[in-house]
Amino acid sequence: MDYDALFQTQLDALKAEGNYRIFAELERQRGQFPRAISHSENTPDQVTVWCSNDYLGMGQHPVVINAMKDAVDRFGAGAGGTRNISGTNHAHLLLERELADLHGKEAALLFTSGYVSNWAALSTLGSRLPDCIILSDELNHASMIEGIRHSRAKKVLWKHNDPKDLEAKLAALPANAPKIVAFESVYSMDGDIAPIREIVEVAEKYGAMTYLDEVHAVGMYGPRGGGVAEREGLMDRITLIEGTLGKAYGVVGGYITGSVALCDFIRSFASGFIFTTALPPAVAAAAQASIAHLKASNTEREAQRQQVARLRAKLDRAGIPHLDNDSHIIPVMIKDPVKCRQLADILMQDFGIYVQPINYPTVPKGTERLRFTPSPYHSDADIDHLVAALTTLWKRCAISHAVA
């Protein structure tokens, strides 16, 4: 059996449809965000990163770096085991308290990533609650889909951000079965925001639990960075809030928050929590410092909002179409995987602008896009440079269309 040939056939098919992924090899430079050294071929030595999920540059914030360094000096590198077997460090508990407070919940539980937290929490809830039915927004993230699948619970998809459709689906289900309504606040690819209040009201009416992924909102929305639910005053009406420490908080890790009983239940039964080494204490300490900083400081959020508005206005003035939404995510639609990659390649090679093309399976085929995420550290000059580059490329495309 030639296994490599089997692998290669599928890789070749992926390449033929333009969906083969090429990673940019970068070297982030402390204190220079969003600048990075590029180690990829045919690129300038230094590029400006326009697609980072370190939305507020906290991965390089002195408060976060110093907390991590201090913790390494005090506690060493690794946690030493699973949470159950000698891996629970004081830093994990401090972080869990910080997270519970962030979301106004009784308790929190840490995981090694946001992906794992969704996967483990949903698979445990869905498999352990007898006859549980999970109602999942049709555009939920892969980590939620995989968790639900793994739970083998009955799954009902409802139309994206549509509380009426959710209500119709809930009304058709047995009244006494446990139900979980799973959804996100900020959807990261279109940047649209869920009508959380309406969804919560429908869920309450039918006695369903609510499971909210605030991965793209924590740190960035709400007066203390508690997410969109905090901004809308709805945190106490949501059963479980899930988030990441890897995006706006700039470190790594995931978590859930909720009641003591809920977190204890997941802690006690979730394989994805029990059987894996705990996060390094220094990671926990850095994340805690980042959360605490963003609870108290609005500076980063305000500066980010300003640069997001600025980029949008400049794109409008240049006639470059982008999806309209109320978040910090600016998708410029290309709608073709090959063109999307080519544009990204030219931006990188000729203009030192790094934006990863977003192709299938991250988004449906035919909706390929460039997704820009301005941070507080993208300067006005960076924005001007980006818009000028896009304008040049749009003209070039228009010319090639005319000739063809």
Ligand X SMILES: *Cc1c(COP(=O)(O)O)cnc(C)c1O
b/e per residue, 249-283, with b = 16+ CB within 10 A?
bbbbbbbbbbeeebbebbbeebebbeeeebbbbbb
- Quote the CA–CA distance of 77 and 97 in Å, as a whole number: 22
Q: Which is nearer to ligand X, 254 or 281 (CB)?
A: 254
Site of interaction with ligand X (CB under 6 A) = 113-115, 118, 141, 143, 184, 188, 213, 215-216, 244, 246, 254
- Quote the CA–CA distance of 314 and 316 in Å, as a whole number: 5
Helices in 17-162 by DSSP H: which ranges? 62-75, 90-102, 114-128, 142-151
Q: Which is nearer to ligand X, 248 or 308 (CB)?
A: 248
Nearest Cα neighbor of 135 from 177, 168, 203, 181 is: 181
User: Which position has the token pair 């939620």?
Assistant: 144
Element (H, E) at 315: helix 299-318
Q: How far is the CB of 186 from ligand X (least distance, A)?
A: 8
Q: How far is the CB of 52 from ligand X (least distance, A)?
A: 12
Cβ count near 71 (within 10 Å): 21
Q: How far is the CB of 148 from ligand X (least distance, A)?
A: 13
Which one from 154, 247, 314, 395 is the annotated catalytic residue? 247
Q: Which is nearer to ligand X, 279 or 315 (CB)?
A: 279
Q: How far is the CB of 224 from ligand X (least distance, A)?
A: 20
Nearest Cα neighbor of 281 from 110, 108, 57 is: 110
Name the residue with the smallest CB distance to ligand X. Answer: 114
Q: Which is nearer to ligand X, 158 or 351 (CB)?
A: 158
Q: Which is nearer to ligand X, 141 or 301 (CB)?
A: 141
Q: How far is the CB of 184 from ligand X (least distance, A)?
A: 5
221 and 243 in contact (C-beta within 8 Å)? no
Query: CA torsion angle for 366, 183, 187, 123 (degrees, to 10)?
Result: -80
DSSP state of 37: E
154: annotated active-site residue: no
Q: Which is nearer to ligand X, 215 or 355 (CB)?
A: 215
Q: How far is the CB of 342 from ligand X (least distance, A)?
A: 26
* Catalytic site positions: 247
